[in-house]
Amino acid sequence: MKKSVVLAIMVIYVFAIVVVGLWGIKTYFFNPTVYVSEIKLVDSEDGAYKVETTPDQPDVDYIRVDYKKDLKFQLYYRVLPDDASNKTVEFDFDISKYVGKIEITEVGEVLVYANERMTIDGYIRSRDGVKAKSRKIRIMIRVSESV
Amino acid sequence: MAVELILLEKIGSKRRAFSANKNSDLLVADEAETSKRKRVEKPFKDKFIAPSVLLGLLYAVRYLSGDRTLGNATMADISRFDPYGISGLVASPLPDWLTAMAGIFMWLEAAAVLIVILYPLFDFKNINNLVKFFATPVFIFELTLMYAEMQLFCSFGMDVGTLYLSAASFAGEIGMSFAICGYAWIRDPRFKISKAEVKNLLLSILPVLIAAFPPYLLQLLFGKANALYEIKGLTPQHRAFLYAAVVVPIVTYFGLRNKSKDVIRFSLLFLSLATMVSYTFNYTFIDIIQPWHWPLHLCNTAMYIVPICLIFKWDKLFYFTYFINVMGAFIAMAMPNYDDGTNIISTKLILFWINHFCAFFMPLLLVALKVFDRPHFKQFRYSMIGFLIYFVLMLIVNGWFSNYVEGGVDYFFLNKDFVVSKLGSWAEKLRENYVWQFDIGNLHFVYYPVYQTLFFIVYVGIAFGMWFIYEQFFAIADFHYDMMIRNRKFRQDKYAMKSALNGRKKSEPMYDQTDKLILEGFGKRYGTSNVYAVKNADLEVNAGEIFGFLGPNGAGKSTIIKSIVGIQPITEGTIKVCGYDVEKQSVEAKRQIGYVPDHYALYERLTGREYINYIADIYDVSKEDRDERIEKYVELFELQGAIDNSMRTYSHGMKQKITIMAALIHDPKLWILDEPLTGLDPNSIYQVKECMKQHAKAGNIVFFSSHIIDVVERICDRITIIKKGKIICTRNVSDFGPDNTLEDFYLKTIEETEVEREEIDANVQPETKRKHRLFKRD
Amino acid sequence: MEDTIQNKGFKPFIKHFKALVLMQLKDKLDFSFLSSKKKLIAKIVFFILRIGAIIAISYLAFHYAAVLSLFSLSGIVPVGVVTMIYTLIFVMSLLSCTVGLMKTLYYADDNRVLVTMPVTGNMVFFSKLVVYFIFELERSLTFTLPLLIGYGVASLLPIGMYFWMIPCLIFLSALPVVLGALLSLPTMAVYGFLKRHGAIKVTVFLLVITIFVAAVIWLILLIPENINLIQQWHHIQPHIIDFIRQFNIYAYPLAKLTNMMIGEYYNLRFNFTWAQVVTFVILIAAMALVLVVVYLIAKPLFLKMTATPFEFEKKEYIKARENRRRKKYKSILRKEFLLNLRSTEISYSFVAVYISVPILILLLNKIFAAMTTQLLGDYMAYSFNLLIILLILFASNAIVSTMYSMEGRAGYMKKTKPLELIMPLVIKLFYNILFSVLSILAAMTVFGIYSALSVGNIIMLTVCVLFFQFGHILWSAERDLMNPQNEQYATTGGLIDNPNSNMTTISAFIISAAVFAFSLKLFTEGGDDPTLACVKLMLLGIAFALMRAYLFFVKVRVYYKERM
């Protein structure tokens, strides 16, 4: 083996130790805070609604749900990235003008109660400080139409 | 009428020719007849070029109509009834089943229209069948589904004026299509075609449909779906697309490589046009008059450059895409610039991948299938000039059009921070810290000189890198093709040998002359040279004789000897050693041979005894025989004190003696000696000569090459003289005497005359390299 | 041979001397790039890129060492570190020159040819020294100088110092050559003694190896169980600084030489001082003195060795051995065994490489085990283990890509024997494969002991590594078959720059890097369970080996016969 090859192998050997030592060990010194990059609504797990967006308003998540008596469904959302340091979120709905109610439970479920057609606008926000992300939501309770 | 009769006559003869040939892609009918037929038909086919171009224009008019394209529409943006946009079949005003049928039919129609457009430009059997049995039914069916198709368009915001325009162009399309289809039917009115033609037709419909697949169709049929698959960041889904980018061209290459030039050109032109048509589903007339919507990205350019180059055979333009687009497309596929979570069946995603597949592998296929030649440096220069022009144009266009689009345009990623955001903050700083802005009239221009200059330099560097990579791939491809051909020949030779053996065992001699060395028509060429080192050598050496082989340096003596002993292969002719063919029964033939080379070739770290025993093991010499022979030769050559020493300590003469011993240890039937006496002392020379005589006397063949004519004259029974690769003569040594010595005869024989030299020079072919072809056609 | 100059005068002397040196250089180096403009440009470009890369790496290393305060508390990299690096380079050069000069002065075959030329014995002797000086100079200017430039940029050396380094390095390049010429004498005595007494040579060799291996393993096992460099840094750093200081005291001459090149550090910067000039003058004087000693002692011995036949190589009469009959393949195996054993180049490299792999893996895993790694760290550790094992084994296959050619003309005589062509070619690789298997099994056992992988996963990774090594061995051998160098080895006995071994070395780095990247990606994608990743790696290794085996057999079948 040429000397240059031996030298290169030695360098890679030391490099391996350094890399594992710096990036592979459990130390908070090198684990920076992972901020939330995006929040979005996702489709209902029980099939109550599907989330859509329009090209005119790409930052708004729309939900359209057909009205029925005593309608109630849960909102599902997702916080990205999955290893974000602080994944707690808050909901902000202006419920004063809506007939019906939105209830946020202790475990973080968001339940929407409606008894007539309505449109609800609101925001869902992360709570990780200066770089908080938010997302606008529009919930439309409608009469279903035949097409 | 007369013209019509000629046509029918030709069609009749063509039919006869076709039925005789199973491969209906190639017209193997009489060449004269074929070209005559072409001369008659050409004026007719040329006349259809104009209708086919018109058809293409009308088709384009229909699809570009309206302010919303079908592509945009099925991206689920607009519905008259639902301003918030829905996708899939629910977005159509027609029933789901009709919408689905119309969508699928539009796919078939796209394929049929492209076939018909290209039909006048090509002339092979299958295209005729495609027009007749695929395009014609599609157009007929189009008449029934026309209403549904128009409805589908109407639902997407088309006003009355453009609706009428669309309808008119539709009618024109139908007219042109039927005209061209009609011509195809007239040319060959058969309904019943051969099985081979059916097979070819079916096999070509599938790739045609795949190539013409509309990017919006899946989204139209299934809606946007909601699963969040990441088709970027090298996820398994992303990798699947990348693998497809490699697999598709490989499959395409192997499918097309043995087809005719016409078929290859048609296939590639169809593929590139289909890609271009797919992409134009994204556009309307409004986009045409707003140049900032034009597809000017680097990878977009491949979509229209490739078909243009194929139609007009512009190779200078082609090499621009070959050197510049391919790498750009690869980088783009590795780092797609669509949004995270872009749906796997969305129009946007499929458009992206169709475009980049085309930009990536079309140029490679065009060179691999020899539509365009492999580039030389001259073509690389053209491509660099082309790239410079494109680059400057994009700089101008970016600056100018950014005044009309909110957020600016970013052709070739020169304007915005897409590239630098991937590289890191150091690159972002480099871009942001050096900005040049100025105004011309109402237009504001912003440039990033350092970033853009470095971008250009790096891309040129990448192009050089591509050049290097291409060269390596060509070398590998040529080498593997050559290897494949040789391997095929090897298997053929093996099969031929089995046939020649005719039921005999491989260890049995193939030929009856088991006591001779025979050369029949032996010829040898080295490597790719056309010059023969030895040509047409015929020789017969009998058992019991010492045969001398004489010739000047470079005459071909070593060539013949090395071919006999198996060091190099034979180019032509046969060599038979004691009934065994040297090529076909090499192991058995070598078992008969003992070879003393012109320069000893020993494993010098072994002792003499170890080496001799090793050779004896190879030749399966029994213990008793080797004991007897080793003792005999050790005594004869006076090696008692040295035989168990390392051969590194031996003198030249001792090494030569060991070589001779190794050649005789198995008592070979054919003993070949090439200059064996060099470096030996007189006593050893005498011993070797005695060995030779005894060996011949025992009924074996001794083949002896030497420059020392005295020795040859004294011990040989017959001699042959070789000169410039040709055996000049063979004589009995007894024919020579004191007045007519062998030396005189030899010198006279090898002396070149003026006439001889001219004759030889005229016969020698200049050395040319045999080109390696990737496939059999030129 | 008399010391008479055939053509008197300075110009003829220089002319003859130059011719001698160039002839020896051409024999050892490849100058074919001069014949083609394209090759010359490529050579220059690669040369510049190489220098640039060394400067960049050196700069980054020293820069981050300074930023992280690795070697001092004041945010600089002290000169002592450079001294240590230079010492290492110097010692390696000295060893290489000593052994090389010993062989070329006293045992080279070309001596017998050189002394027949119309030149004096002095000229031949000094031409050999000059050839080695040129090699050392090339290494200094293309490796040591860029290294020092990198340090200089990181430590803000004054511009003039870079120009001063060049004459320093020119003379420093001659130092290991003259010292090596002097040390070659006792080395030759020992070498000659061991050569004459083979049994003692083998015993000494085995003893040294055993002691060395045992010592190394003992040292490795001393590494503590838990190392946390970051937390314990304030304990460790003073020891490092102290070690550097002590080293500079004990290696005072080398420290002075280093200071001579880069200056003295005071007032927060490097300064050029007269002490450097004084050291420079002392260096030249010392070298001149050593050269005189070499001339007086080594040169007469050199002339004596070239003038007499190599009688010491001949052994006294040995008792006649018996003839033994063996099966063909056993006979070929035995022949290869004897050739390998009796060739020090091959046998030493076998031992060095195949023993070092498990030891290096032991050290690596001991260090990794001492770190508290997270899952990503574990996966990085597994991938690096694969990388190191494969890299060393693949790089050692460079010798496989010369094995057929090293036989010289005996190589193509194989084709005249009644054997299937493939048999001797494959058997020749047997010992490489055998030693590889043993080495891999040992290394993977060590890896398995320290890793958290299950037995099944370890077995799969072992299979992966084995098959990659088989495939690479066949690929290296195939290169030699397709581009044989038999004639070159037959006439010169060796090639400095064998293109086949260069390509093998390059492919070693590329393939092991690719396996590393691929394995890391697979491990991290698999989440907590690395089983699927291990399966995929195993299948990849098997596929690679099968593909290379197929290509090897086909190429032997269709190309071997016409390749000389």
In B, minimum Cα distance to C327 occurs at B617
H or E segment to which residue C264 belongs: strand C264-266
Contacts of B626 in chain C (CB under 8 A): 323, 325
- Cβ atoms of residues C188 and C297 within 8 Å: no
CA distance B750 to B553: 11
C351 Cβ under 8 Å from any chain A Cβ = no
Tell whether A18 and A56 lie within a shared domain: no
Which of B84, B96, B155, B222 to mutate to test binding with chain A, by most A CBs within 10 Å of its CB? B84
Residues C37 and C76 in one domain: yes
CA distance C429 to B286: 71
Cα separation, C227 vs A25, whole angstroms: 11
Calpha distance B354→B358 (Å, rounded): 6
pLDDT at B316 over 80: yes
With a CB cutoff of 8 Å and minimum separation 6, the contacts of C217 are: C359, C362
- Residue A20: which of C228, C381, C391 has the nearest Cβ? C381
Assess if residue C147 is contained within a domain. Answer: yes
Cβ contacts (< 8 Å) between B587 and chain C: which residues?
A: 418-420
Tell whether C213 is covered by a domain.
no
Question: Which residues from B are below 8 Å from A140, CB to CB?
Answer: 84
Minimum distance, in Å, between the CA of residue A43 and any CA atom of chain B: 8
Residues of chain C with pLDDT under 70: 1-8, 27-30, 227-231, 305-320, 345-346, 492-496, 564
Model pLDDT for residues C270-310, shown as the tens digit of each residue: 888 888 999 999 999 998 998 888 888 877 777 776 665 44
Domain count for chain A: 2
Is A29 exposed, middle or buried (CB count within 10 Å of its CB: 0-12, 13-18, 19+)?
exposed
State the smallest CA–CA distance between residue A11 and chain C in angstroms: 11
Q: What span, in angstroms and rounded, lies between the C-alpha atoms of B702 and C437? A: 48
Pairing label, strands A60-66, B516-525: unpaired
Q: Write the residue in C371, C391, C392 that is nearest to A21 by C-beta.
A: C371
**Rounded Cα–Cα distance for residues C81 and A48 (Å):** 69
Considering only residues C447 and B95, tell me which one the structure prediction assigns the higher pLDDT.
C447
Question: Does one domain contain both C377 and C492?
Answer: yes
Phi, psi of B513 (to 5 degrees): -80, 80
Task: Of C385, C375, C406, C369, give the one whose Cα is nearest residue C488.
Answer: C406
Q: In terms of DSSP bridges, do strands B546-550 and B593-596 run parallel, antiparallel, or are they unpaired?
A: unpaired
Residues C173 and C244 reside in one and the same domain: yes
B194-203, B214-223, B693-702: which range is least confident on average? B214-223
**Between chain A and chain C, how many beta carbons pairs sit less than 8 Å apart?**
65
**Could you tell me if A24 and A49 lie in one domain?**
no
**Position B20 confidence tier, pLDDT thresholds 50, 70, 90:** very low
Write down the pLDDT at residue B585.
Answer: 86
Please check whether residue A135 lies inside any domain of the structure.
yes
Give the Cβ contact number of residue A10 at 10 Å. Answer: 11
Angle at which helices B136-154 and B160-187 pack, to 10 degrees? 170
Residue A21 and residue A58 in one domain: no
Residue C320 lies in a domain: no
Q: What is the CA radius of gyration of chain A?
A: 24
Q: Same structural domain for residues C487 and C525? A: yes
Does A54 fall in a domain? yes
Closest listed residue to residue B680, CA positions, set B703, B711, B701: B711
**Position C335 in a domain:** yes
pLDDT for residue A96: 59
Q: What is the pLDDT of residue B152?
A: 63
Residue in chain C lying closest to A31 (CA): C374
**CB interface of C with A, residues 362-391, below 8 Å:** 364, 367-368, 371-374, 376-378, 380-381, 384, 387-388, 391
C491 in the same domain as C531: yes
Cβ proximity of B105 and B149 under 8 Å: yes
Contact flag C391-A17 (C-beta cutoff 8 Å) = no
- The string of pLDDT tens digits covering residues B659-671 is 999 999 999 999 9
User: Does residue B255 register a pLDDT over 50?
Assistant: yes
Q: Which residue's entry shows tokens 């080797």?
A: B626
Amino acid sitting at position B513? Q
pLDDT given for residue A131 in this prediction? 61
Residue B629 pLDDT more than 90? yes
Confidence grade of residue A106 (pLDDT, cut at 50, 70, 90) = low
Are C323 and B644 within 8 A, CB to CB? no
Instruction: Give residues 78 to 97 of A whose Cβ lies within 8 Å of C.
Output: none
Q: What pLDDT sits at residue A82?
A: 76
Digit-coded pLDDT (tens) for B674-711: 988 887 888 888 888 999 999 999 999 999 898 888 88
Task: Based on the fold, state whether residues C51 and C177 are members of the same structural domain.
Answer: yes
For residues B387 and B463, the answer to whether their CB atoms sit within 8 Å is yes
Determine contact, residues C185/C295, Cβ cutoff 8 Å.
no
Tell me: do C512 and C540 sit in the same domain: yes
CB atoms under 10 Å from CB of A128, counted, come to: 19
pLDDT in tens, A26-81: 654 545 667 788 888 888 877 778 888 887 777 888 888 877 766 777 778 888 87
DSSP C7-20: S-SHHHHHHHHHHH
Closest by Cβ to C562, choosing from B569, B591, B616: B569
Who among A42, A43, A52 is closest to B84 (CB)? Answer: A52
> Which neighbouring-strand residues pair with A100?
A114
pLDDT at B254 over 70: yes
Same domain, residue pair A18 and A79: no
**In a shared domain, residues C390 and C255:** no
Interface of C with B in 478-507 (CB under 8 A): 490
Residue A147 lies inside a defined structural domain of this protein:
no
Residue C197: inside a domain = no
Cβ neighbours for C554, distance < 8 A, ≥ 6 positions apart: B483, B487
Phi-psi sector, B484: left (phi>0), alpha (psi -120 to 50), beta: alpha
Count CA within 13 A, CB hemisphere, residue B315.
Answer: 13
* Pair (C375, C491) in one structural domain: yes
Look over chain B and give the mean of its residue pLDDT values, rounded to a whole number. Answer: 81
A105 and A49 housed in the same domain: yes
**C338 and C295, same structural domain?**
no
B296 DSSP 8-state letter? -
Residue B80, pLDDT > 50, answer no
Contact B330, B470 (CB under 8 A): no
**pLDDT tens-digit series, residues B734-763:** 888 888 888 888 888 877 655 565 665 565
Question: Tokens 């011509």 label which residue?
Answer: B183
Instruction: Note whether B620 contacts C561, CB cutoff 8 Å.
Output: no
The answer to whether residues B535 and C384 touch, using CB atoms and an 8 Å cutoff, is: no
Question: C-alpha angle with apex A120: A115 to A122, nearest 5 degrees?
Answer: 140
Q: B 65-84 residues with CB below 8 A of A?
A: 75-77, 81, 84
Two tokens at B640?
């008692």
Residues A51 and A105 in one domain: yes
pLDDT given for residue C493 in this prediction: 65
Secondary structure (3-state) at B228:
coil
| Integer Cα distance of B521 and B540 in angstroms | 11
CATH code assigned at A42: 2.60.40.10
Measured CA to CA, the distance from residue B590 to residue B606 in angstroms comes to 23
CA separation for the pair B64, B62 (Å, rounded)? 6
Which range (B417-421, B438-442, B721-725, C143-147) has the least confidence?
B417-421
CA C363 to the chain's CA centroid: 21
- Tell me whether residue C375 is in a domain: yes
* Exposure class string for B474-495: b at 16+ Cβ within 10 A, else e: beeeeeeeebeebeeeeeeeee
Q: Cα(B187)–Cα(B11) distance, rounded to whole angstroms?
A: 7
Given pLDDT bands bounded at 50, 70 and 90, which one contains residue A24? Answer: confident
In this structure, the answer to whether residues A47 and A66 fall within a common structural domain is yes
Query: Whose structure tokens read 């237009």?
Result: B443
User: How many percent of chain B have pLDDT more than 70?
Assistant: 83
Domain that holds residue C21: 10-186+236-309
What does the alpha-carbon distance between residue B501 and residue B507 come to, in Å, rounded to a whole number? 10
Q: Give the pLDDT confidence score for residue B766 in this predicted structure.
A: 45
Per-residue confidence at B90, pLDDT binned at 50, 70, 90? Answer: low
Amino acid in position C296: L
Q: C395 with C374: CB under 8 angstroms?
A: no
**What pLDDT, on a 0 to 100 scale, did the predictor assign at position B29?**
42
User: Do residues A104 and A69 both lie within one domain?
Assistant: yes
- Of C506, C508, C528, the C-alpha closest to C516 is C508
Tell whether A70 and A7 lie within a shared domain.
Answer: no
In a domain, C495, yes or no: yes
Residue A49 belongs to what domain range?
38-142
Q: Both A90 and A119 in a single domain?
A: yes
What span, in angstroms and rounded, lies between the C-alpha atoms of B446 and B443?
A: 10
Instruction: List, in sequence order, every beta strand (DSSP E) within C326-470.
Output: none
Give me the DSSP letters along B549-609: EE--TTSSHHHHHHHHHTSS--SEEEEEETTEETTTTHHHHHHTEEEE-SS----TTSBHH
The total domain count for chain C is 2
For residue B41, the tally of other CB atoms under 10 A from its CB is 17
Interatomic CA distance for residues C421 and B401, integer angstroms: 69
Q: How far apart are CA C244 and CA C81, in angstroms?
A: 7
**C83, C175: one domain:** yes
Yes or no: say if C500 and C483 are a contact pair by the CB < 8 Å rule. yes
A50 in contact with B, Cβ within 8 Å: yes
Peptide bond into C146 cis (omega under 30): no
Q: What is the mean pLDDT of residues B516-525?
A: 91
Residues C41 and C108 in one domain: yes
Looking at the domain B516-592+668-763, which fold is it?
Answer: Rossmann fold (3.40.50)
Would you call B75 and A55 a contact, using CB atoms and an 8 Å cutoff?
Answer: yes
The count of CB pairs under 8 A between chains A and B is 21
Q: Which of B30-44, B366-380, C327-341, C367-381 has the lowest mean pLDDT?
A: B30-44
- Say if C87 falls within a structural domain: yes
Same domain, A90 and A124: yes
DSSP state of A34: -
| Residue B724: predicted pLDDT | 87
Amino acid found at A143: V
